[in-house]
Amino acid sequence: MPELPEVEAVRRSLEQLVVGKTIERVDVRLPRIVRTPSPEVFVQSLTGRRVEAVNRRGKYLLLTVSPFLLISHLRMEGQYRLTETDVDELPHTHVVFQFTDGTELRYRDVRQFGTMDLVRSPSEWPDGLARLGPEPFDPLLTPQLLKSRLASRTVPIKAAWLDQTVLAGVGNIYADEALFAAGIHPEKPAGKLTTLELSRLLHETREVLQKAVDAGGSSIRSYVNGYGRHGGFQISLAVYGRDGEPCVRCGTTLEKTRVAGRGTHWCPSCQRKPRTRRARAKTSREGEKDGRNSR
């Protein structure tokens, strides 16, 4: 958190709020937020530059400040907020971009996990960004392509769907929602999914992400966009955070488990748990025994 819909909402708000503004001064108060270059060079390089565009790749924000690209990863709780310079600051404000028009873009991060990198070319991109897989909405991304990429993967599909080298931007919330909508158990081995199942999962992933984008994202904890506004999709979540409640589809009590180290929400009825090899062998033996007894 934030995931693709939240980062996209931040991108859209910053596009409206800061594109065209000229940076007069930069104040880096927590040096480790800036990974490259040094905080001193970071400040010097951005001073006097104009923000030309705000884009997104996966969960990364990409601010074009020619000849540089400012790459910002919000991680768990990073936030941007545009304010007037005389507005009191909130705690945990670590980087401030002051513009020539008297406004400030403030970066706030309670957990301090967010990062910023200022680069000149793709060869300097941080490894996480350089290795990203296709965007969920990429028209070239097909179930057949996913099938070929996941064919040898034995990890649970939930783990594969969170792997940013497989699919960029999908995180814990929307992986749970998409798997539920597709009727696929989160622990099913990724390589065992059929092309039809992957087609359904890709479709539902796109559907849930688009709905979340339209709603401005989900405010589960502290997420707000550049205007300081919360998202609205959290009221539409079908399984995430609803363990112990009835399934919206069948009424079965939703459960929570851990998959790939992440809290995972699912419906035992709508998402049938895959049988293990041992369970299949036991069923086969019992069938053979019943067959002998009926002779």
Active site residues per annotation = 2-3, 59, 262
CA distance 30 to 15: 25
The answer to whether the CB of 77 falls within 8 A of the CB of 110 is: yes
Long-range contacts of 165-168, Cβ-Cβ distance < 8 Å, separation of 24 or more:
165/131, 165/132, 165/133, 166/133, 167/133, 167/134, 167/136, 167/141, 167/205, 168/4, 168/57, 168/58, 168/59, 168/132, 168/133, 168/134, 168/135, 168/136
Contact status, residue 62 vs residue 69, Cβ threshold 8 Å? yes
The answer to whether 180 and 272 have CB atoms below 8 angstroms apart is: no
Torsion of CA 248, 8, 15, 23, to 10 degrees: 130
The whole-angstrom separation of Cα 49 and Cα 70 is 12
Exposure b/e, 166-182, CB count within 10 A at least 16 = b: bbbbbbbbbbbbbbbbb
Tokens describing residue 274:
């895959």
